[in-house]
């Protein structure tokens, strides 16, 4: 049994530092790198890719709506053609930077509001999937478990994996509890580690209101910018290894 741990990184901007990228990198296996639309800038992207190379991490693009002020968390009334173009642009930028370091991309994971919209709208998901496939048909699309994203990826015929979230509470219909609601983010490292192990071994998680929700992920998202994030990631990885679960990029079979 094996699992990938993915983490959003490269979200610093100019002189402003966000997240604990380098201290978290030794404990994850894949990273999702901001491409400049919701966070980061060319210089910070280059720095992030160099660090990823140092730790031998699988790299993914983390495209979003063009929303630096709102950190990509505000929904935009973009057409499917605009979404396609924005995603192609962002993947292309990151792919070019990776090429300068002799690296390739493993995957693409939408960010923020774009991810949330794709979860619920297979046409939005398909626009993202088309962009991914048009750039490189070997890339994977990271999709929320059992969501419309999966349908969009399947309709386009792009490679995909499903993900679950380590520290986020779920509703009974399998969506994430909005961050503004109490209990949306679980902060106890051991509780989160137990939860991740249960998801991997049992294929389900208990929702915030006590229902069993089926989840069969190939990758688990951990967050590197929350209080105590690195301790939580360490606890998850330690627990998985102790239980004999191999932690490695999902593209490594």
Mean pLDDT by 10 residues, the chain (253 residues): 96 91 96 97 98 98 97 96 98 98 98 96 98 98 96 98 95 87 89 94 91 94 84 95 96 88
**Exposed/middle/buried for 145, CB within 10 Å: 0-12, 13-18, 19+?**
buried
d(CA 91, CA 139): 10
Output the CA–CA distances (angstroms, integers) from residue 165 to 16, 62, 194, in the order listed: 26, 16, 13
Domain boundaries, the chain: 2-247
- pLDDT value at residue 179: 81
Structure tokens, 225 = 């910018």
Residue with tokens 């741990």: 5
Q: Judge whether 66 and 113 are in contact, CB under 8 Å.
A: no
- pLDDT value at residue 141: 98
> Which residues are bridge partners to 113 per DSSP?
none
Can you give the pTM of this predicted structure? 0.95
- pLDDT value at residue 45: 98
- pLDDT value at residue 7: 97
Instruction: Name the superfamily (CATH) of residues 2-247.
Output: Glycoside hydrolase/deacetylase (3.20.20.370)
d(CA 9, CA 28): 11
d(CA 68, CA 64): 10
Residues 6+ apart with CB under 8 A from 224: 7, 8, 9, 19, 20, 21, 24, 28, 230, 233
């Amino acid at each position: 049994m094996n699992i990938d741990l993915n983490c959003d990184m490269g979200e610093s901007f100019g002189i402003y530092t966000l997240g604990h990228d380098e201290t978290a990198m030794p404990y994850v296996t894949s990273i999702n790198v901001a491409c400049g639309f919701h966070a980061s800038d060319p210089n910070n992207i280059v720095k992030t890719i160099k660090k990823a190379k140092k730790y031998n991490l699988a790299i993914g693009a983390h495209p979003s709506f063009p929303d630096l002020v709102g950190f990509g968390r505000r929904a935009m009334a973009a057409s499917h053609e605009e979404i396609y173009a924005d995603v192609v642009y962002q993947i292309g930028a990151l792919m070019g930077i990776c090429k300068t370091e002799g690296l390739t991309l493993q995957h693409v994971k939408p960010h923020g509001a774009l991810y949330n919209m794709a979860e619920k709208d297979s046409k939005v998901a398909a626009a993202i999937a088309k962009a991914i496939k048009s750039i490189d048909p070997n890339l994977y699309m990271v999709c929320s478990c059992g969501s419309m994203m999966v349908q969009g990826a399947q309709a386009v015929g792009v490679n995909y994996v499903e993900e679950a979230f380590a520290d986020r509470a779920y509703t009974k219909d399998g969506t994430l509890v909005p961050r503004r609601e109490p209990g949306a983010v679980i902060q106890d490292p051991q509780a989160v580690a137990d939860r991740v192990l249960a998801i991997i071994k049992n294929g389900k998680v208990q929702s915030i209101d006590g229902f069993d929700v089926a989840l069969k992920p190939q990758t688990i998202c951990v967050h590197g910018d929350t209080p105590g994030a690195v301790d939580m990631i360490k606890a998850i990885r330690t627990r998985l290894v102790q239980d004999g679960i191999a932690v490695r990029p999902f593209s490594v079979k």
